[in-house]
Amino acid sequence: MIKVTLNKTLDAADGKMELDVSFQVLKGSLTTIYGESGAGKTSILRMLSGLLDPDKGHIEVNGNLWYDHSAGKKLPPQKRKIGYVFQDYALFPNMTVRENLSYALDKGQSPEIVDELLDIIELRNLETRKSDTLSGGQKQRVALARALVRKPDILLLDEPLSALDTSIRSKLQDYILKVHDKFELTTILVSHDLPEIFKMSDTILFLVNGKIEKSGPPSDIFLKNNISGKYRFTGTIIEKTKNDVVYIIGVLVDNNLIKVIATEEEGAFLEIGDKVLVVSKAFNPLIIKMEEQ
């Protein structure tokens, strides 16, 4: 169990912003911090890892006190058992893939974990490559593996997939889920990508201007009414055309553009750029078996 209370005044784009949050994360869960850019998502991760000092607060991880303002206690980043995947991956260009992982080993730690992780992320064949010769997706996998070498108490992922295109993204989400289960990690993910959140997280912390507006499972947060849809997708509206009495709404789901009909009343409230959920209730969906690729 991780118990966190944080308070800090941040310099935001439009003046000062007061970050004031308090939350708990269950051991073994995958929690997503969701919010617009500038809402304070990254700052929360930086305070958890000790890279940024809160003005006030309290951080307790599995019964160990990491930070307490009133008790004057502050563990340096080195002493917190954290795995952190940075937005820019922060791989060291002077080292090979294997050296990047080995560097993270603690004194006296057995190096077998490095081989195990190289196998899991399927980068054995690239282990002697210098890290700056890798593609974005490969770098991301190395960064993920490197963050796990020390068997951290918490894995922090700061929009780790935002720079990658959709097809690689989905594969990497699978890698993250795989290691999350295998190493029984407690993971906190920063993301503002709805499909990613639905796919990955148990719990959402919905952050607006430095405050947690709501928290709970993704379906509770993002669906106003609990619909029991037979199947559903999240996507973004990219076009909207009026056709007689109905609107035709183009929704981008992953890579596919789906056209959905909306009534005049519904269509009036939908704008291009809105994140939407497309639900179909059961009539008679076509099911076609796909060829194995």
Partner 1 sequence: MIEWGPIILSFKLAALTTLLLLILAIPLAYWLSYTKSISKPIIETLVSMPLVLPPTVLGFYLLVAFSPENSFGHFLDQVFNFRLVFSFGGLVFASLIYSLPFMVHPIQAGFNSLPESYSEASYIMGKSKLRTLFKVLLPNIKASLLTGIVLAFAHTIGEFGVVLMIGGNIPDKTRVASIAIYDEVESLNYDTANIYSLILFTITFLILLTVYLTNDGYLKRFWK
Q: Summarize as ranges the residues that interact with partner 1 (CB under 8 A).
A: 49-51, 76-80, 82-84, 86-88, 90, 92-94, 103-104, 106, 146, 149-150
In sequence order, the 6+-apart residues with CB closer than 8 A to the CB of 10 are: 16, 17, 18, 19, 40, 43, 210
Considering the complex, state which of residue 81 and residue 275 has its C-beta at the smaller distance from partner 1.
81
Considering the complex, state which of residue 30 and residue 104 has its C-beta at the smaller distance from partner 1.
104
Least CB distance to partner 1 at residue 5 (A):
22
Considering the complex, state which of residue 49 and residue 201 has its C-beta at the smaller distance from partner 1.
49
> Which residue spans within the chain are E strands per DSSP?
2-12, 15-25, 30-34, 56-61, 64-68, 73-74, 82-85, 154-158, 186-190, 203-208, 211-216, 231-243, 246-253, 256-263, 275-280
Residue 24, burial from CB neighbour count under 10 angstroms (0-12, 13-18, 19+): middle
Considering the complex, state which of residue 90 and residue 223 has its C-beta at the smaller distance from partner 1.
90
Least CB distance to partner 1 at residue 51 (A):
5
- Per-position DSSP letters for 39-77, written without gaps between them: SSHHHHHHHHHTSS--SEEEEEETTEEEEETTTTEE--G
Least CB distance to partner 1 at residue 245 (A):
54
Cα 169 to Cα 238: distance, rounded to the nearest angstrom: 20
Considering the complex, state which of residue 35 and residue 83 has its C-beta at the smaller distance from partner 1.
83
Considering the complex, state which of residue 49 and residue 215 has its C-beta at the smaller distance from partner 1.
49
Considering the complex, state which of residue 150 and residue 240 has its C-beta at the smaller distance from partner 1.
150
Cα 37 to Cα 108: distance, rounded to the nearest angstrom: 41
Least CB distance to partner 1 at residue 106 (A):
6
Least CB distance to partner 1 at residue 141 (A):
15
The amino acid at residue 104 is A
Residue 289 in tokens = 């078996």
Least CB distance to partner 1 at residue 146 (A):
8
Cα 72 to Cα 242: distance, rounded to the nearest angstrom: 62
Least CB distance to partner 1 at residue 134 (A):
16
